[in-house]
Structure 1
């Protein structure tokens, strides 16, 4: 571990705890990675290089963790879901993985130089997570946020997304509504968020497209009949559009990268 651990118990959102526990294996298989250009942007913005220490919050199965390791920085993955963390350690034995949440990482004061959250910040209590990040980073601490976002201007993606939204409950957070930004508004001690947006088309097959929704925290916790209904509705969407009738389907993602630093 990077430094001596300090750990306070903070509850993880029950949907994330249950959904990602059930879908850990499928999540690793069907979810897209991130473009090297997005990594390059973030590595430059956060000064990630050998000799630096970075924590990956909500690391999941290590989709972004493995890219952070390529920078040469010392990486610690913080992941509260045991099934996800187990899969991460199988795939990345060289990375330290700890049981913790963004609001209580278990890391020592000043343990890292930078923190990253990929596909995860919207699950956090933003103000509490920022307080924890302020504690575990030094005076020059940096923070990066990353999301793969579907391009809903594409007709079949818009129809696909509507199916998911119909099954989503209001209690489940999403990053696309922008509410995650409120934690940074008026927060002293941090620079204004900067951003970059990198195309990230993901080529997969029909099962891979279906898996994007079926491994979500909401859908993976439904009963079997409901999951089959969701699957049938998604298949109907794919059958409707020429772009999604073939064996190979390109999912138009954009990787959104945001960063800020202590000042």
Structure 2
């Protein structure tokens, strides 16, 4: 196999086992691509969105499982800490239904049966009202990819 791609999933893996499996199935010069979308934390909208999750959702450790922009995890995963990093703008435009759905579908989001659910949904709705224009909200996002050998 020439290439293994993990998109929107690396933060769920046992990284050492994944690395061993990639080594097993890849050709000698094969590569792994880790790809996912990230929120742009320079945006006040994204910062406030994270604060709402921190306030209401005890299982929230950060978007994408808490894997941020730090390089340590990738330095350990890729051979000799060498990889090619690329960033692509990828803003998300949503209406209220889409914005609520995106927030409520997160694995760390509250479920309807949980005590604070109503307040959580209200806070997300208020955030939409604050930042939306003409019924749409733009969530600053980018896609990043890491490509290298393991």
**Normalized against structure 2, the TM-score is what?**
0.82
Corresponding residue for residue 50 of structure 2: 161
Aligned length: 147
Q: Which has the higher contact order (CA 8 A, sep 6+)?
A: 2
Indicate whether 1:209 and 2:86 are aligned. Answer: no
CA contact (8 A) 2:59 2:109 kept: no
Aligned match of 1:219 = 109
> Cα deviations across residues 218-249 of structure 1 (Å, max 9, x unaligned)?
1155635433321111112223x2x3153122
Tell me the SS of whatever aligns to 2:42: coil
CA contact (8 A) 1:114 1:141 kept: yes
Structure 2, unpaired ranges of 5+: none
1:228 aligned to which of 118, 123, 137: 118
Partner of 1:138: 27
CA distance in 2, matches of 1:113, 1:203: 35
- Give me the CA root mean square deviation: 2.6
SS of aligned partner of 2:36 = strand
Unaligned runs of 5+ in 1: 1-111
Is 1:246 the counterpart of 2:134 in the alignment?
yes
- In 1, the alpha carbon distance for the partners of 2:96 and 2:30 equals 42
* TM-score scaled by length of structure 1: 0.49
Match of 1:199 in 2: 89
